A and B are shown apart, each in its own frame.
Chain A
Amino acid sequence: MGRAYLGEFEELVLLTVAVLEGDAYGVAIASELKQRTNRTISLSGVHIALYRLEEKGFVQSELGGATTTRGGRRKRLFTMTTAGKQTLGEMREVRNQLWESIPNPSLT
């Protein structure tokens, strides 16, 4: 692949960051994922994935303004970088190609 490796869960988190578009932070991502995948998602797992993605350069983050709902604590908001976007695109490409090469169409 050339660039940094992206795990399955990390990919999901990265996609969710893209979905939430500017409002992506820990709890929002976790609840979104919970809804969509029906998996048990732990906050710590989401956070680690986010920090890893940031270390790899797929997302960037900044602290948001003060809030009222969570004891006044700030949120760290994540947005996707171009590198992230590109990697996601490449992965999708690879997958599509693989799907199309399946000889037996009944699998779809």
Chain B
Amino acid sequence: MTAMSTRAKLGVVVASAVLLGTVAAGYAATAAQAPRTPPPVGGEQAVSLAPGPRLLAITDRHVSTVAATDPAGPRTVGGLECLRVYAAAGTGVCLKPETAWSYQVVVLDAELRQTRAVGVPGLPNRARVSASGRMVSWTTFVGGDSYTSSGFSTRTGILDTVTGATVASLEDFAITMDGRRHRNPDVNYWGVTFTADDNRFYATMSTGGRRYLVRGDVAARTVETLKENVECPSLSPDGTRLAFKEAIHADPAKGWRLSVLDLSTMRVTATAETRSVDDQAAWLDSGQLAYTLRRDDGQPDVWSVPADGSGTPALTIPGAESPSPLT
């Protein structure tokens, strides 16, 4: 058993290292050679964020637009790489890779020129622009820094493009929960949607393992809880309804139902989409919601469904994600 000399043992270790190194290098070589679709650059015309009857979306990690009347038809794909995008009134926000493992929030004008850039921690998740184009918000996932040290936490920031004022993280806002002041280091926010006054907003706040719809005030730096189990709100163009994802039986592990909350009655209507939607939906108009669903292989498609619970979901932009109307 112990008859092996040190030299022989070292020989075995070196041989194993060479063998295992070859396996790793061989695998890496095949992985590196796997066909990667080259980034489609340019089109007949350049991508524009100017308001018009077009939809903005991400195709193969690049900004692209399609005609609102023929979303599955010809597509204009730009050279700008984004993991999440949104635009309104000629202002765009793009969560853009900065290096292989860091991202930045980039604010764009209608011609996709960068007007501001903010470095953000973590991985891109949500992005929104207020209807006027003034306020911009984003959410990223940050690994391993929550106090459970193994879970994920989120960072949600807000930028006022007029004053340049930036809220790096909503976590410093004062919280009123069920009428009482609440503080807890486990608080996380995601999925901001702005109201028409460019100050108040809705978002998701999680604390103590529960997720709440909150209404916030940027100037006052406050949020208050409104309702439990409402995630990733998206305010309708008329400001009366919130599309959101509702965790089935209040358990995110069971998936989410895309639903709509009437803010005057606080009544919830489930849409006809029964597949689990993990997205912040976009209102294409006052009656249609667009959202991303993934196929089994992880490839995205943009689908749409009526907001009033009627109809059936329809495949809208195949092979695209992060839809936004250009209003």
A and B from one assembly? no
